[in-house]
Amino acid sequence: MRSDRCRANGASWGAIWALSAVLALVGSHGGARAEDTVIKRFTSGAGRDSVGIIEAREDAPMDSPQAIYAGDDGGLYLLDQVNGRVLRFDPKAANAQMQSLELPQEVRPTDVVVRRGNVYVWDGTPQALQAGGRADDPVRELTRTRAAEQPDDATLSAFAQMGSQTLGSSEQLLGEQTRGVPVEVKPARQVVSSRGRGSVFADVSTANKPDSATIEVREQTTNDLVARLKIRVRDRLGLVEFLEIDNAGRMFVLTENIPTNSQRPASAFVVRFSARGVQESVYDIPLEESVALSRRFIAISAEGDVYFLRTRNAGVDLIGVGVRPIRASDLIDNPNRPRRKDAVVGKAPIAAVRPLTRRQVIETAVAFESLQWRVTPLAYGLDPDNACSGLNRTRRPWYLAGKVNADVRGVPYCWGCHGSLNQFRANIANGTMAGNVCTHNSPRPDVTGVDCSAFVSATWGLATHFTTMAIPSITKELGNAWELQPGDALNKPGSHVMLFMRFTPDRKVEVMESSTGGCNGRVCRNVYPLSSLLARGYRPVRFRMLDNPQVADISPAEVTSVQDKAKVSESNASRGRRTERASTRQNRHRDQD
């Protein structure tokens, strides 16, 4: 494993942090920012020094490590869910041997938290695991045992920091929110088991100011005030998450600046406060379009080091984030972020011919997510199904593994598939196999379900499957992400699309999506920081039928054009299926010869 640890002028990593701290104490406004540093690099694969990365394809985002966590033991834990394990290593000794904690076969998590010797993973709900064997064994098995402590409030709050949380009932999505009426709710109290002060809770108050917040931090056992932190961004404040108190008593808060002008990019920051609660430093999180979406992309060590999980096609980097000093009264902003370049896309006719309301969109989305259906042997298919090459992947969505003859929830992800909920039910009744997460090979004609854009197309009432590349032609991009209303979407052309459900009370984004990684291969609800999506290239868009939902507003010529386009698309799809069947028959004849 190659390590790219910083050795600028012979200085160690710790010395750079020390220098940054001195600069912060001096209070030099606009001082130099320490550079981001690659602490450890992973290649793609299944070996000891590699991580599982499933390549991105059109309408199929990359599936790669979803989370990092800084443990109390000084180690960093990387969730390598594609390879079914959690990797532990020392960020201060990147060349040292890593330890592999093997996950139970039936667990397919998207987040990890390590506390008090237990490994907690998020698999729709929190799971408590313990590692067997000796502490220094290179490979240890993680198992569910009675000795493993159940997640407490601090663990649940740690999961919720990055959106891994139990979501409210679907009925909440069908009330005031579906009419686009903002509902102001006080955020839940954040509980943190900190390294420097033990268990504390943080109450965040925005006081109806869109650009600022006050965070009151108190010890949980005594209710004594630790500090009252004030934070203000240049444009509009996104999420505010109290992350950690390090061994020196310094406090770390994750926040976002979300401009109301889409020409200026969204930014995420970790703001560091002194032990007395004075704002002193900022860590600019290096989010960019080429970085794959991950659940927990930030970790804070006991010494106050800030780490970022950066995943690209070539591999995964653990980044030590550089720091820059700021004054106590400064606005939080990243002046070095460039204006984004807009892609030029053409317009196409509105692709729906019936009235559409936001409530109908949300009801359809909820129906896809909440569908209860039985996995028949025909729907399950062969076991094992090794029809997909690369990283020992199979066709079957992970949430269906081992569920033959069992009842499950949610329509499965199926790359290249599309159709309505009724069509999915009919396909299952007729013996079609369910789902296909294999994005390495060509889409299969013998499976049923929906991929990300097919799901959004179905919620918008479209008989035609509009891919992520085609969605810009039937939508308008919103100039301000805060204008998003239930039934709108966050689209990244050529990669992935999510249906917007609502802003949560703590200003995260709740979405419904069909995803291989974030949903374990089905339609599900998820919560993300807004900047994490915007900075990675997701654009807030509104289906034009929702913007102008009257049939009379659609001309006959537009209707005819849409119908013709649908016929051409279906004809091409049928021709592709016939070609693939003919190719399959030819291959069978060759095998027989």
The model's confidence at residue 72, banded by pLDDT at 50, 70 and 90, is confident
- Identify the three-state secondary structure at position 172: helix
Residue with the bigger pLDDT between 161 and 243: it is: 243
Residues 6+ apart with CB under 8 A from 493: 343, 468, 469, 471, 472
CA 485 to chain centre: 20
Q: What is the mean pLDDT of residues 121-135?
A: 91
Position 167 pLDDT exceeds 90: no
Percent residues over pLDDT 90 in the chain: 53
Pick from 481, 480, 484, 492: nearest CA to 453:
492
Work out the average pLDDT over 220-225: 95
Task: Say if CB 306 and CB 323 are below 8 A apart.
Answer: yes
Res 48: pLDDT: 81
| pLDDT value, residue 335 | 67
User: 518, 526 in Cβ contact below 8 A?
Assistant: yes
Model confidence at 529: pLDDT above 60 = yes
Instruction: Check: CB of residue 85 under 8 Å from CB of residue 49.
Output: no
**Per-residue pLDDT tens digits for 306-357:** 999 998 877 899 999 999 999 998 999 876 655 555 444 444 444 444 567 8
pLDDT for position 390: 64
Q: Which of 14, 34, 51 is nearest to 391 (CA)?
A: 51
- The per-residue pLDDT for 506 is 85
Is residue 63 very low, low, confident or very high in pLDDT (cuts 50, 70, 90)? confident
Question: Assign residue 391 a region: left if phi > 0, alpha if psi is -120 to 50, beta otherwise?
Answer: left
- The single residue listed with the structure tokens 């317009």 is 347
Per-residue pLDDT at 381 exceeds 60: yes
How many Cα atoms sit within 13 Å of 572 on the Cβ side? Answer: 8
Look at residue 24 and tell me whether its pLDDT is greater than 70.
no
Q: How far apart are CA 385 and CA 565, in angstroms?
A: 36
Phi, psi for residue 208 in degrees, rounded to 5? 60, 20
Q: Which residue from 402, 400, 411 is spatially nearest to 367, judged by alpha carbons?
A: 411
Tokens of 118: 């237990």
Place of tokens 């890593």: 98
CA distance 219 to 213: 20
- Token pair, residue 234, equals 């240049």
Burial 497-529 (b: 16+ CB within 10 A, else e): bbbbbbbbebbbbbbbbbbbbbbbbbbbbbbbb
- Confidence grade of residue 288 (pLDDT, cut at 50, 70, 90): confident
**pLDDT given at position 172:** 64
Top-confidence residue, 510 or 589: 510
Q: Tell the residue number behind the tokens 């308008």, with chain if given.
A: 476
Bridge partners, residue 202, by sequence: 190, 217
Lowest mean pLDDT among 33-42, 493-502, 505-514, 545-554: 545-554
In this prediction, residue 14 carries a pLDDT of 43
> What's the pLDDT score for residue 26?
36
Q: What is the pLDDT of residue 324?
A: 93
Average pLDDT of the segment spanning 458-465: 90
Is 262 or 432 the better-scoring residue by pLDDT?
432
**Mean pLDDT score across all residues of the chain:** 81
CA-CA distance, 142 to 148, in Å (whole number)?
11
Report residue 161's pLDDT band, with 50, 70 and 90 as the boundaries.
confident
DSSP state of 176: G
Q: What mean pLDDT do residues 118-132 have?
A: 91
d(CA 273, CA 323): 13
pLDDT at site 262: 73
Under 8 Å between Cβ of 387 and 394: yes
Q: What is the pLDDT of residue 1?
A: 35
Q: Give the chain's length.
A: 593
pLDDT confidence tier of residue 518, bands split at 50, 70 and 90: confident
Rounded to whole angstroms, the Cα distance separating 471 from 420 reads 18
CA gap 291, 318 in Å, rounded: 12
Q: Is the dihedral of CA 189, 194, 200, 205 positive or negative?
A: negative
pLDDT(37) > 90: yes
Question: Residue 87: beta bridge partners?
Answer: 78, 100
The pLDDT score that the predictor gives to residue 47 is 85
- Return the pLDDT at 336: 64
Overall average pLDDT of the 217-238 stretch? 94
Domain ranges of the chain: 8-62+67-109+111-163+189-325, 358-554, 558-593
Local confidence band at 376 (pLDDT 50, 70, 90 cut-offs):
very high
Q: For residue 173, what pLDDT is reported?
A: 64
174 band by pLDDT with thresholds 50, 70 and 90: low
Is the per-residue pLDDT at 28 higher than 50? no
Angle between helices 421-429 and 358-370 (to 10 degrees): 20
**Other C-beta atoms within 10 Å of 324: how many?**
18
Residue 277: DSSP 8-state:
S
Q: Is the backbone of residue 128 left (phi > 0), alpha (psi -120 to 50) or beta?
A: beta
User: Which tokens sit at 320?
Assistant: 């030590």
The answer on pLDDT for 19 being more than 60 is no
Which residues make Cβ contacts (< 8 Å) with residue 169, sequence separation at least 6?
Answer: none
pLDDT of residue 187: 60
Contact residues for 467 (Cβ-Cβ < 8 A; gap 6+)? 58, 59, 453
Token pair 């913007």 in the structure block, residue: 547
Residue 149: CA atoms inside 13 Å, Cβ hemisphere, count?
A: 13
Could you give the residue ranges of the DSSP H alpha helices within 169-257?
none
- Would you place residue 188 in the very low, low, confident or very high pLDDT band (cuts 50, 70, 90)? low
Measured between alpha carbons, how far is 149 from 116 in angstroms, rounded to an integer? 9
Tell me, what's the pLDDT at 46? 86
At residue 574 the predicted structure's pLDDT band, cuts being 50, 70 and 90, is very low
pLDDT at 108: 86
pLDDT at site 269 = 95
Mean pLDDT of all residues in 270-293: 93
- CA distances to 186, 192, 277 from 228, rounded to whole Å, are 18, 16, 6
CB 356 within 8 A of CB 77: no
Closest of 34, 33, 35, 51 to residue 43, by C-alpha: 51
- Dihedral sign computed on CA atoms, order 143, 146, 148, 150: positive
Q: For residue 31, which amino acid is it? A: G
According to the model, what pLDDT value does residue 349 have?
A: 47
> 510: which residues sit within 8 A by CB, 6+ positions away?
167, 500, 501, 502, 503, 504, 525, 526, 527
Lowest mean pLDDT among 19-33, 231-245, 410-424, 430-444: 19-33
The alpha carbon of 277 is separated from its chain's Cα centroid by a whole number of angstroms, namely 31
Higher-scoring residue by pLDDT: 299, 288: 299
Dist CA 541 CA 474 (whole Å): 9
Most confident of 177-191, 207-221, 399-413: 399-413
Kindly give, in sequence order, each residue whose CB lies less than 8 Å from that of residue 289, ignoring residues fewer than 6 positions away.
492, 535, 536, 537
pLDDT higher than 60, residue 218: yes
Q: How far is CA 11 from the centre of its chain?
A: 35
Q: Residue 374 and residue 232: Cα distance in Å, rounded? A: 51
pTM above the 0.85 mark? no
